[in-house]
Amino acid sequence: MSTISGTTASPTVSRGQISTLGGGYYSAEQSIISNYSNIYPTAFSDYAAEEINIWIDERRYQNSPNAPYPMPNDEEECNRLEQLHVLIRGVLKQNYIAPLDEPKQALDIGCGTGTWMREMALEFPDCEFTGIDISNILQGEKLPSNCTFKLGNALERLRFKDGSFDYVHQLQFGLGVPKRHWPRLCREYKRILRPDGWMEFAETDGRYFRTGPAGNAINNWLKNMYAARGIEPRRCCLLPEILADAGFPVVLRRIYSFPLGQWGKRLGQAALVDAQLTLQSLWPRIREVEPELTKEEFDRTVQLDWPVEVDEHKTYFNLRVYWCQKD
């Protein structure tokens, strides 16, 4: 079990500054998904038009013109998200970092399969959780009685009154946020939070560190593909400044580093499998911007060269957690 990065610093900082509190490591934990009692209606009719899907290479993707999120939304992707949730929760050792004090209303932006929301609903039975997603993955799913799903595009004005929530959470939603949307999104979060409410982000910056030739090629393909969709994953690194401008003067940060490959033991092996599945899901998007790249070269790089290289270079990626409180 090894820490890759992270140092301890002051727990509170002021505008423009950030606090780094921890590093990455792995501890295996099981998800606690059980005891779901009620079935909730999933779609609100005014959101229904948002659910536009297309099929590419036998994979299903949402295809809203107003949401550039590139990943699929089919069963295969749901399985990947659930596995990744277990990995992330294992590393964070919990589902949230903000110092929550008996929240009564919480919102999960880009809730996906709803696993985070379900676990939180069991941990906070007196809190009402609302999950919003552009894909109707939760249609017909049993949810705990204190969970509701709403189908909708979170990049548009959030259809909640000012001061509705004690806690707003987004986990791995950043890859769906065009870079020009971040400031407005953070102002929306401020609007819908109650005074003293907490905002929390957990985001990757969409690239791999300590790479060799295969990892460099992968980073470039990803960067070009995201850029073509108006997305800049590294924008999440600027969250302290963006949040300060939105009216959150104090932002806290923790960075968790995930090893890729056998050098990272069970976590590293699972993280590599997840990264390879992610890249395969993104192939239809990557080939749009890399017309010279053949599927054979892509597969050789991702499936054959990279797994060897990640151990030689000790490749890793970061999950960046930021949290801040409304005045």
Ligand X SMILES: C[S@@+](CC[C@H](N)C(=O)[O-])C[C@H]1O[C@@H](n2cnc3c(N)ncnc32)[C@H](O)[C@@H]1O
C-alpha 100/C-alpha 98 separation (Å) is: 6
Nearer to ligand X, 85 or 235 (CB): 85
Strand order from edge to edge, sheet including 193-204: 147-151, 128-133, 105-109, 165-171, 193-204, 316-325, 251-259
Nearest distance from C-beta of residue 179 to ligand X, angstroms: 14
Distance CA 11, CA 198 (A): 15
Residue 202 or 310: the one with the smaller Cβ distance to ligand X is 202
Q: How far is the CB of 64 from ligand X (least distance, A)?
A: 7
Q: Name which of 81 and 239 has its Cβ closer to ligand X.
A: 81
- 129 - beta bridge partners? 106, 147
CB of 105 to ligand X, least distance (A): 18
C-beta of 135 vs 211, nearer to ligand X: 135
Is there a contact between 97 and 323 (Cβ–Cβ < 8 Å)? yes
Compute the distance between CA of residue 286 and CA of residue 298 in angstroms, rounded to an integer.
Answer: 10
Shortest CB 275 distance to ligand X, Å: 13
Binding site residues, ligand X, CB under 6 A: 62, 67, 69, 71, 73, 81, 85, 110-113, 116, 132-135, 153-155, 171-173, 176
What is the closest distance, in whole angstroms, from the C-beta atom of residue 136 to ligand X in the complex?
9
Nearer to ligand X by C-beta: 81 or 217? 81
CB closer to ligand X, 172 vs 318? 172
DSSP per-residue codes, 86-150: HHHHHHHSSS--S---S-SEEEEET-TT-HHHHHHHHH-TTSEEEEEESS-TTTT-EE-TTEEEE
CB of 75 to ligand X, least distance (A): 13
Nearest to 112 by CA among 90, 145, 141, 87: 141
H or E element that contains 170: strand 165-171
